[in-house]
């Protein structure tokens, strides 16, 4: 059984800077990390392998530098790593990204696919469900725990408002996971050194038989017309009164003025 974990390399910052002309994220000069949700997905896959067997393959789409993210996964314990990289993938929106990843997964031949709930830079949470749609697979999002695995289905907990749903999902299945699924392990120094020398499979668009019109800009119906940080409109004001009752009266008057009550 092959278990694929989709891993995105993201900028190591919560300070997203935007190029005002191109309307794209400025990635230059920002150190990169493995998307934190994907580290948890990798941890979940490694625990699944421990309990039920299989081979864990880390898969990423990105520029050649994304190899670093895959090496981190190998150091954590992944058996293999695949990077799909091609100039033709550039400018891909979530539809084209999930299409290319789906093609790679079809070539790898997986029975269980893990994604993070979302990537901390793009934040759309669309790629996991997109991959499942392209491959015609069962998908469960917001997964916090795998309760049980059987040959033809998994029992998983899916977070929902106020609790969780217990979902029986037929296999093959794609799970988009919450961080609570597992605290990612720290790779040992020895494992990190070994991972630095490990071979990474590199595929381009032709290798995954991805038609030109379905990848990169050509395969992306989304147009980003403008990206901006919304203006903060919050105001603050100190209310002072000699007594608690006086303070409450002042507060109530303010709320009435603002038509909140």
- Dump the DSSP string for 193-217: HHHHHS--EEE-TTTTT--GGGSGG
The region of 57-65, 146-154, 160-168, 253-261 touching ligand FAD under the rule CB under 6 A is: 57-65
Terminal C-alpha separation, the chain: 60
The region of 124-132, 134-142, 160-168, 200-208 touching ligand FAD under the rule CB under 6 A is: 124-132
Task: Give the residue, chosen from 222, 227, 241, 256, that forms a contact with ligand FAD under the rule CB under 6 A.
Answer: 222
Q: Residues with Cβ < 8 Å from 207, sequence gap 6 or more?
A: 84, 107
The region of 54-62, 72-80, 188-196, 198-206 touching ligand FAD under the rule CB under 6 A is: 54-62
Contact status, residue 66 vs residue 27, Cβ threshold 8 Å: no
Give the residue closest to ligand FAD by C-beta.
122
Contact status, residue 118 vs residue 125, Cβ threshold 8 Å: yes
Task: Give the residue, chosen from 4, 43, 48, 60, that forms a contact with ligand FAD under the rule CB under 6 A.
Answer: 60
Contact status, residue 214 vs residue 99, Cβ threshold 8 Å: yes
CB of 201 to ligand FAD, least distance (A): 14
Residues at the interface with ligand FAD (CB under 6 A): 6-8, 35, 37-38, 60-62, 90-94, 97, 101, 115-116, 118-119, 121-128, 220, 222-224
């Amino acid at each position: 059984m092959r278990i694929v974990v989709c891993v995105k390399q993201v900028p190591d910052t919560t300070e997203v800077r935007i190029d005002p002309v191109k309307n794209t994220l400025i990635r230059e000069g920002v150190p990169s990390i493995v998307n934190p949700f994907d580290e948890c997905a990798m941890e979940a896959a490694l625990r699944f392998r421990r309990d039920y067997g299989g081979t864990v393959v880390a898969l990423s789409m990105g520029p050649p530098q994304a190899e670093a993210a895959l090496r981190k996964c190998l150091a954590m314990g992944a058996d293999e790593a695949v990077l799909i990289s091609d100039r033709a993938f550039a400018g891909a929106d979530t539809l084209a990204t999930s299409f290319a990843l789906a093609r790679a997964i079809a070539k790898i031949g997986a029975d269980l696919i893990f994604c993070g709930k979302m990537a901390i830079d793009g934040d759309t949470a669309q790629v996991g469900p997109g991959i499942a749609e392209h491959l015609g697979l069962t998908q469960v999002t917001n997964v916090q725990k795998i309760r049980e695995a059987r040959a033809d289905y998994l029992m998983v907990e899916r977070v929902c408002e106020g609790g969780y749903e217990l979902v029986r999902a037929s296999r093959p299945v794609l799970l988009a996971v919450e961080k609570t699924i597992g605290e990612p392990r720290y790779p040992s120094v020895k494992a990190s050194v070994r991972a630095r020398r490990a071979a990474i499979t590199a595929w381009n668009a032709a290798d995954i038989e991805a038609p030109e019109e379905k990848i990169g800009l050509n395969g992306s119906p989304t147009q980003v017309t403008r990206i901006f940080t919304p203006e903060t409109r919050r105001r603050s004001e100190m209310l002072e009164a000699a007594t608690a009752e006086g303070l409450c009266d002042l507060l109530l008057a303010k709320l009435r003025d603002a038509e909140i009550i």
